Amino acid sequence: MDLSVISLLKKSWMCLNLADGFSHAEMGSSTVLKTQNKVFVWTEEEIENALFVRKTRETYRFALVYWYIDERAKSQTLLKSCSAQAPYPVPEMVCRLDSITSITLNPDITIKRVENENDLSIWCEIASQGRIQKQVDQTRAFASPLLKQCGDDCMLYLGYFKGKPLSTSLVILDGDIVGLFFVNTHIEARRLGLGEAVSYTALMDARRRGALTAILTSTAMAEKLYKKLGFTIKRTFLEYNLSAYIRQV
């Protein structure tokens, strides 16, 4: 089984191919994941040549394009000249679930799996908070097919503090590997242990369903939390925002 975030994202997009505006394609060593107005290009090894970058520029002219490449890849120089901003580091982290750090939940915290449309609406609202553009409809377009079509392979969770829903997580299972995504906490409820609790509970559910290893991508802010649970950095991707470059066409 391929231990990478990319393989798990591809699995989720197989469900999303049925949803309006979502598609995925393989182009050489790169995987292109498209939403309604964003494109995420993940390059596992090296970019073949500058022509591939130009082709992407032409194909997705009207989308926001984010390109991820291993920081060790020599061909990232093809992206540096295309990005108006410095690349953003995105660590890929792994943990064996039999060695994950056990936690005791705060008695004021409860974690529940999302199982109906009302819970999904709340999940999408919280999961969208804190982003540059709060796009609840797009988050719902992503999450709804996973909830309805993927069964126990894709599970969404809500974290509650004193009965109020304030945090989210999503796990995607592929054989004995589980990916953790969309860990988010309401901005007014940080430092209450909700992020740790909603992550740990989701991963333990995945372990009971046969998962042995967990994998995720982290932000700089969340890296400390995941290390506390026992995650270590496998490699670091660099995120290049090519949107301004593409719109020069």
In CATH, 96-236 is 3.40.630.30: yes
Hey, where are the domains in the chain? Answer: 5-90+237-246, 96-236
> Residue 180: which of 73, 71, 245, 94 has the closest Cα?
94
pLDDT tens series, the chain, 249 aa: 456 788 888 777 766 655 566 787 887 788 888 887 788 999 988 887 888 887 887 788 778 889 999 999 988 888 887 776 788 999 999 999 999 999 988 999 999 999 999 999 999 999 988 654 557 887 888 888 888 877 888 999 999 999 999 999 999 999 999 999 999 998 887 788 999 999 999 999 999 999 999 999 998 889 999 999 999 999 999 999 887 654 444
Supply the pTM of this predicted model.
Answer: 0.88
Rounded to the nearest 10 degrees, how much is the dihedral formed by the CA atoms of 43, 44, 50, 55? -40
Length of the chain in terms of residues written: 249
